[in-house]
Structure formats: C-alpha cells, structure tokens
Amino acid sequence: MPVQPVTVQPSVSENKVPHRQMDAEARINKVDFNKIKTEQHRPVIALVLGSGGARGYAHIGAIQVLEEYGIRPDFIVGTSAGSIVGSIYASGKNAVELRDIALKMKAGDVRDIKLGMKGFFDGKKVEDYINDQVADTSLEHLKIPMYVVATELREGRKVVFNYGNTGQAVRASVSIPSMFVPAQIGETEYVDGGLVSPVPVDTARELGADIVIAVDILAQPVYTETTNVWGLFNQNINIMQNRLAREELKSADIVIQPDLREKAHIFDVKGREATIQAGINAALLKMNDIEAVFNKRHYPLKEKEVQFSVKDQY
C-alpha cells in the first residue's frame, strides 16, 4: 500500500504577519465626551500629566491615590514624561502595575546612543519600549483615550497625537532638542512637547474636560544646580517651561505638585521609589480640594478603598 504524502500545515505563528501600526497622527478628535454628560449625567474628567524627565515617576504615585479614591479619568493628556506614564496607564494597567514596570525599568531599555549632528540619543528604544508595554495598541484603541503632545520642529507648533503608533507619538513627545535626534514621522520632524506645552491643560479644556486634574512635575529653577554645563542646560529648560506652565495651570481645577528637587540626570533611575512616594504625598494633600471640586459638580467621590505606599509593596 503506497504511503500517502503528509502535508505539513504551517503553524499559526508561521502564518502570522508582523503587526505594523500606522504612523502617529494628529486627527480631528472623534471621541464624543459630551455623551458622558448627557448619558451618565456627570462631568468629564481629564488627567493631565506634565513633562519632567526622571521626575515622571511621581505621576505614578499621583495616579495611585486617584485610583484609591475611585477617580478614573475619561481621557489623559500627556507631555514628554507624562506621555510615557499616561500611555501605559491608558493601555489598561493600574497603579500597582505601573510601579512594577517603573521599578524594573533599566536606563538601557529606553536609551540608545547615536552620535550625530542633531543629537546623541536616537529615541527608537523609547518607541519600542512603549509599544511593548501597550502591546502594540494604537492610540485610538487604548482603553482610556490618550492624547500625546509634541512640538513640530520647523514651525514650533503644538501637535496633539491621537491616532496611530503609540510608541512613535511618545518618542516625538520626549525628544528633547540637542539631546535626542528629532523624531521623524513621514516628512516631518518632531521634538519634545514641553517646549510648547509642558503641562497641557489647555488641550484638555479644548477637548471638552469639565474637571482637569493636572500633575506638574517641573523642576523649580531655585533648586537647580548651575555650576556645570549640564545644570545650565537644565536651567534653561526649567525657566522656559515654568513660565509656560504657569499660564496653563491657571485653567486647571486641581494642580498636584510633588515636592521634587532637581539634582539628577534626566536618565537617572535611582531614587524612583522616593519620587513615586512624592507623588503619593502631593496627591493626598490635594484630596480635600478634589472632593470640593467634585461636590461642586454634584459628583461625590467614592469611599477610599485602601491606603498604601511604595514602602508597603517593596
């Protein structure tokens, strides 16, 4: 009896075509936040996470406290460090998971040296790291609507990405000029969103937020070391960003400002637990104010579920 030939079917993984996200884009916002007011009869809540380099760990602490009080934003707007934390949070991870990711992250996970005329960090590792954390989910498909602020380099315009490649948008938002090579999307180059909107409250208002909770992690110039070249570089950015932020923060309902002192390199990941705790402390100090804002909108807060700190977990 002749042996019948065996046809080997390729496995699912062999058939799988690598997923490629569409390039990040700034499209007209199609999320109708007014439905929240009309159907759920409550205010639209925006969480605004500002720029600030390694101080971005404080965002995690602030998010932790908001979660404990049952406050979930209807959308998030993030600039630079805020776009990193915001995008991962928007993908569906909670504060405990965010802390775990932050404490395990190595500088090498997001830093790739590429010496050139325009900068010495490429930014591709940031893009890949974010896409890995959000499971290659595009901005428009994240569980919480996410808006990433960057600066269009040629004209200095604010650009708000809300569609396409999440990691690519974040890469653009964190690309500090002269440090990072500008992020190129299509034919356009983008740099750090903190140049035009370090704490993007105005964007949140434009999108329809009734209550804006902003987390400002900018370094205060008075605490910046200016005895070396790196310190002077930081100080230039700090002065500019603080003036820009001061104006936008006037429009926020709540401003959470962790007590952080600028002493570390932007990629220094030491002391991250203390930085997260600073975010926790600052948010707790604002809870009475937050409750007052919510009560004014006839939207009382839930009972606080549990209180814990970084020290309780690690």
Domain-embedded: residue 27:
no
In whole angstroms, what is the distance from residue 252 CA to residue 201 CA?
Answer: 6
β-pairing verdict for 188-192 and 183-185 = antiparallel
CA 268 → CA 107, 118, 212, distances in Å?
8, 22, 30
Residue range 212-221, pLDDT digits in tens: 999 999 977 6
Please report the pLDDT score of residue 26 as a whole number: 97
Is 293 part of a structural domain of the chain? yes
More confidently predicted of 134 and 177? 134
Percent of the chain, pLDDT > 70?
84
Residue 252 has pLDDT above 60, yes or no: yes
Q: Is 90 a domain residue?
A: yes
What is the predicted pLDDT for the residue at 13? 36
Of the candidates 80, 83, 173, 175, the residue annotated as catalytic is: 80
Domain presence at residue 164: yes
* Structural domain includes residue 5: no
CATH of the domain at 127: 3.40.1090.10
12 occurs within a structural domain = no
User: Would strands 211-215 and 254-256 be described as parallel, antiparallel, or unpaired?
Assistant: parallel
Is the pTM higher than 0.85? The answer reads yes
User: Residue 209: pLDDT above 80?
Assistant: yes
75 token code pair: 């959308």
Q: Is residue 187 part of a domain?
A: yes
Question: Mean pLDDT, to the nearest integer, of 202-219?
Answer: 96
E strand or H helix at 75, and its extent?
A: strand 75-79
Q: Is residue 161 part of a domain?
A: yes
Tally of CA atoms within 13 A in the half-sphere of 193 that contains its CB: 32
**121 forms bridges with which residues in the sheet?**
113, 180
Query: Domain of 264?
Result: 35-297
Percent of the chain with pLDDT over 90: 66
pLDDT at residue 12 in the model: 35
Question: Where residue 268 falls among pLDDT bands split at 50, 70, 90?
Answer: low
pLDDT value at 106 more than 50: yes
Domain count for the chain: 1
**Of the residues 74, 192, 202, 253, which is catalytic?**
192
Is 192 designated active site? yes
Most confident of 15-24, 58-67, 304-313: 58-67
